[in-house]
Amino acid sequence: MKTIQLELNEKLAAELNALVQQGFFKTEEELIRFALIDFIESHKPALVEKFQHEDIEWAVKQKKAS
């Protein structure tokens, strides 16, 4: 498992702590892991599409240049 260290501003850190204290998550690490998974799952189709468009634009430019 990979460990990542990050810094949070005080407001965000307090919100994470509050969600843990209220029992929504067991730990702040669990909350952050959940948030990352949720972000990736909900944004992956848009990110894939964006990268596909960038690849197509690059290929078109290469074709025009040759």
Q: Mean pLDDT throughout 34-49?
A: 88
What is residue 65's predicted lDDT score, i.e. its pLDDT?
A: 86
d(CA 56, CA 49): 10
Residue pair 63/56 in contact by the 8 Å Cβ criterion: no
What is residue 57's predicted lDDT score, i.e. its pLDDT?
A: 87
Residue pair 26/20 in contact by the 8 Å Cβ criterion: yes
pTM of the model: 0.65
In whole angstroms, how far apart are CA 16 and each of 10, 19, 26, 44, 47? Answer: 10, 5, 11, 24, 26
Residue pair 39/31 in contact by the 8 Å Cβ criterion: no
